[in-house]
Amino acid sequence: MAIVTSSKRSRYFAESSRYLPGGVNSPVRAFQGVGGDPVVVHRAEGAWLYDQDENGYMDLINSWGPMILGHAHPDVVEAVRTQAGKSFSYGTPTELELELAKLVVDGIPWIERIRMVNSGTEACMTAIRLARAHTGRPYFIKCRGCYHGHADPFLVEAGSGALTLGHPSSPGIPEETTRYTLVADYNDLQSMERWFEEFPESIAGVILEPVSGNMGCVPPHSSYLQAVQELCRTHGALFILDEVMTGFRLSWQGAANIYHLDPDLVCYGKIIGGGLPVGACAGKAHIMDLLAPAGPVYQAGTLSGNPLAMTAGLTTLRLLQLQPEIYDHLEQVGRTLETELLKRFAEKGQDVQVNRVGSMISLFFTDRPVGDLSSALTSDRQSFSRFFHHLLAAGIHLPPSAFESWFISRAIDESHIDQFLEAVRRF
């Protein structure tokens, strides 16, 4: 398939590759999963990305999830602008970090303490350290295809960009740093039970995405998450939810609310920062209070609780909390896209799977239901690449990988849906 890209994009990417490894600052942006040169975004507003030539692209990436309200929401922009005039960073406590902490702790029953960090990776690192300190055990379990950031212990059969680039684990990681990482299959309780049978008193916790977004959108099977939680309780291990993607997106209280869970620790990112770099590790007080300076578990960060990031996150979360109809709108848009995609490909006689939970959705070119990494990998990448570039030419920007969830924003309305569906009909 011939990929047509603008000469300006090609020139930019060639020059960028002289200065940045692979031309990008995060792997999937390089379009290696779909071919061609990436769109170079100049600005964004509402539902639209604009490139160097002011060509508009309907955005179904939304910064990989954080821009749930759409780009440059006026309330968030004004709040950040006001705070910027008071300086960007203090390195001291602020009222803003207290306000955001109170909003989350008072609004989510299973959260009693929260520690702000700068990324989802940091949040997950902190959760594992806390689990090991609390239990005195070395091992933890993760699932194939679930991605919890690029810290050494997590890059074992990871999802997201690692799948797109064909490197499910990474060089540069000594075996010693992953020897205590146990890998189970997502949606397969027995594969997790086997580890508890082998190491009955040595597993500190289980960390998993309640809805996987890093092998495409893969929902949990019925009662799977509840069964994992009970397994952890039975064996004295911590039940850790990585809600970096799902937190404040699937509902204000996240996936734990939807699936009626009571996690020991929760990792947040993306939406909690309103588009600025923020992560958080949160959970039960008796575990969280192990963190320094309250306890002996060390974690620190110069920019943790950064006032600009706290402002963007606080403003975004307040808007979501005060306007619950936003979630109704996201569900409606997601349901329409799911229904129409299935209808269009059925008319073509082409087997596809559409996985969706709320405003997270993925299209897999396979005749097999997708419920784990093995089934996700049956998806035809060439077909996805053709679909991706067809939509890109129609002014619609999907995540440039068959193994990434799409993210819908509140800014998507009926006119955008019509444009999307017309492009799909022409495919």
Among 12, 147, 186, 327, the active-site one is: 147
Asked if the bond preceding 293 is cis, omega within 30° of 0, the reply is yes
CA separation, residue 136 to residues 64, 99, 119 (Å) = 35, 33, 26
Q: Tell me the torsion sign for CA atoms 41, 161, 146, 265.
A: negative
Q: Which two tokens stand for residue 333?
A: 């848009």
The three-class DSSP label of residue 309 is helix
Q: Dihedral sign for Cα 54, 270, 336, 33, please.
A: positive
Out of 142, 270, 284, 372, the active site residue is: 270
User: Which residues make Cβ contacts (< 8 Å) with residue 140, sequence separation at least 6?
Assistant: 128, 131, 132, 153, 180, 181, 182, 203, 204, 205, 206, 207
37, 51, 59, 242: the catalytic one is 242
270 is catalytic: yes
Angle at 31 between CA 30 and CA 37, to 5 degrees: 85
Q: CA-to-CA distance for 365 and 376, rounded, in angstroms? A: 9
Q: What single string gives the DSSP state of each residue in 61-85? A: SGGGTT-TT-BT-HHHHHHHHHHHT
Q: Exposed (0-12), middle (13-18) or buried (19+): which is 74, by Cβ within 10 Å? A: exposed
- State the SS3 of 320-374: HHHCCHHHHHHHHHHHHHHHHHHHHHHHHCCCCEEEEECCEEEEECCCCCCCCHH
Residues with a known catalytic role:
147, 242, 270
